[in-house]
């Protein structure tokens, strides 16, 4: 029962459409009508600008962190508390990507996944962050950095576990979240292979009350 409740908790937190809300409040637009048609921070950067995108990113990260930490708090005495936290983190990503509040649309889960991973295995984030940032800086492709981070996350977490610095539920979370993030970038992968992927800094024309 704790795992079911944790899944529900995570999904409801993740499903809060932060990008859509920020887009409505700042420019009176629906992010899903522009750019990648996603509600995440990258599309927010292209359509709303840096300050709004930073807010979207931080709040989306917060959804992942909150899902894991609240699951730990609510099920602290349950022997499956570690797995409950992992389940809540995964379903937060699912909620973010397929939000029931906005007809099962959403983002790609990168920020929410990172938030959950930071709460599950902080050292994984410490190790991966410079790799991902360096990849994005070097190539100017946010998608490539995100996919790289998602695929490396379970490997890094497993190595940390072997050193006593991570848990088995954290490895499972890293593996599933990495797959979800990579799968959500299927269209980006196709564009990367075709050489038509948009680089960071690309702007979208926006019409609205902004």
Q: Among 117, 128, 205, which Cα is nearest to 167's?
A: 117
- pLDDT, tens only, 71-107: 999 999 999 999 999 999 999 999 999 999 999 999 9
What are the start-end ranges of the H helices in the chain? Answer: 2-14, 18-27, 41-48, 50-74, 81-97, 110-120, 122-139, 142-162, 168-184, 186-194
- The tokens describing 53, both together, are 């995108």
- The tokens describing 78, both together, are 């349950």
Rounded to an integer, what distance in angstroms lies between the CA atom of residue 210 and that of residue 194?
34
Contacts of residue 46, defined as CB under 8 A and 6 or more positions apart, other chains included, come to 34, 35, 36, 198, 202, 203, 204
pLDDT confidence tier of residue 200, bands split at 50, 70 and 90: confident
Rounded to an integer, what distance in angstroms lies between the CA atom of residue 67 and that of residue 89?
6
pLDDT at 56: 98
- pLDDT, tens only, 36-47: 899 999 999 999
Rounded to an integer, what distance in angstroms lies between the CA atom of residue 150 and that of residue 37?
21
In terms of pTM, does the model score above 0.85? yes
Distances (CA, A) of 118 to 34, 146, 161, 174, 190: 30, 15, 15, 10, 29
Task: Tell the residue number behind the tokens 């529900």, with chain if given.
Answer: 8
How many beta carbons lie within 10 A of that of residue 82, not counting itself? 19
Query: Cα-Cα-Cα-Cα dihedral of 100, 101, 104, 110, to 10°?
Result: -100
Rounded to an integer, what distance in angstroms lies between the CA atom of residue 19 and that of residue 62?
13
Instruction: For residue 105, list its beta bridge partners.
Output: 99
H/E run at residue 39? none
- pLDDT, tens only, 7-32: 999 999 999 999 999 999 999 999 99
pLDDT at 1: 83
pLDDT at 123: 98
pLDDT confidence tier of residue 204, bands split at 50, 70 and 90: low
Q: 202: which DSSP letter?
A: -
- pLDDT, tens only, 140-172: 999 999 999 999 999 999 999 999 999 999 999
């Amino acid at each position: 029962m704790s795992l079911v409740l944790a899944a529900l908790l995570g999904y409801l937190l993740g499903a809060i459409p932060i990008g859509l809300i920020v887009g409505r409040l700042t420019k009176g637009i629906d992010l899903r009508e522009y750019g990648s048609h996603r509600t995440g921070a990258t599309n927010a950067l292209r359509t709303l600008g840096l300050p709004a995108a930073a807010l979207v990113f931080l709040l989306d990260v917060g959804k992942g962190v909150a899902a894991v930490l609240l699951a730990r708090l609510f099920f602290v005495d349950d022997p499956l508390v570690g797995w409950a936290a992992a389940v809540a983190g995964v379903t937060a990503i699912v909620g973010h990507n397929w939000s029931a509040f906005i007809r099962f649309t959403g983002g790609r889960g990168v920020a929410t996944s990172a938030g959950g991973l930071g709460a599950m295995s902080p050292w994984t984030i410490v190790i991966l962050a410079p790799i991902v940032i360096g990849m994005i800086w070097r190539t100017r492709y946010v998608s490539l950095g995100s996919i790289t981070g998602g695929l490396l996350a379970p490997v890094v977490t497993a190595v940390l576990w072997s050193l006593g610095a991570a848990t088995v539920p954290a490895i499972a979370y890293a593996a599933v979240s990495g797959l979800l993030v990579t799968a959500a970038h299927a269209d980006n992968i196709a564009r990367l292979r075709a050489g038509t992927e948009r680089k960071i800094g690309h702007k979208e024309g926006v019409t609205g009350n902004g």
